[in-house]
Chain A
Amino acid sequence: EPEVTQTPSHQVTQMGQEVILRCVPISNHLYFYWYRQILGQKVEFLVSFYNNEISEKSEIFDDQFSVERPDGSNFTLKIRSTKLEDSAMYFCASVPSGYGNEQFFGPGTRLTVL
């Protein structure tokens, strides 16, 4: 059964450094999402992506964040200058199409900013 994959599983970085989190959604899916979960808190929506552009972003998704689908398979989340408070689990999800569809989640990338 196809699955969403994410790399790396754990990323440790220094404050101020750039990080790129990678996701490979399920191949025939059309909608893509990034969520994050700070330790002990709820899973929060960051951004959604459809038809090669951002369709919605949350207040968390400021100018330090960007997303790309560079080659039709990968879906990346970049944080330009990481802050301590960016330490969290980042989940990618994808959906085939339309409403009422299950979001398929990747296993997550744990980002630790020192």
Chain B
Amino acid sequence: AQRVTQPEKLLSVFKGAPVELKCNYSYSGSPELFWYVQYSRQRLQLLLRHISRESIKGFTADLNKGETSFHLKKPFAQEEDSAMYYCARADGGATNKLIFGTGTLLAVQP
């Protein structure tokens, strides 16, 4: 079964510190990977997807097929980055449903 692993439930950093949220996936062909974010009391929203290779709100994520990873990085954390971050992959099947990791709560301290 396809899996997405986020090893950290909580990541606490100080404002201005670098952030790396880890995500590993089980290998299966060419994965389609996403990072979704959920701010307090808001809906899940797309932050990044690997096919677009863009930077959103200063976050980047690089697909490393050798390590089967898709870690989310930001060089300087801001307090407003505090949220729940979910790594997900599309399963590539008929419906391309999403398979989520368990999520990492990022807490940025002032």
Q: Which residues of A contact B (CB under 8 A)?
A: 3-4, 31, 33, 35, 41-45, 48, 50, 55-56, 91, 93, 95, 99-100, 102-103, 105-108
Find B100's partner among A3, A42, A56 (CB 8 Å cutoff).
Answer: A42
Which residues of A lie under 8 Å from residue B94 when comparing CB positions?
Answer: 55-56
A42-B100, A43-B100 in contact; A100/B42 too (CB < 8 A)?
no
Q: Which residues of B contact A (CB under 8 A)?
A: 32, 34, 36, 42-46, 49, 51, 86, 88, 90, 93-103
Which residues of B lie under 8 Å from residue A105 when comparing CB positions?
Answer: 36, 43-45
Find A103's partner among B51, B93, B98, B103 (CB 8 Å cutoff).
Answer: B98
Distance in Å from the Cβ of A20 to the closest Cβ of chain B? Answer: 20
Distance in Å from the Cβ of A109 to the closest Cβ of chain B? Answer: 12
Which residues of A lie under 8 Å from residue B86 when comparing CB positions?
Answer: 43
- Find out whether the CB atom of B97 lies under 8 angstroms from the CB atom of A48: yes
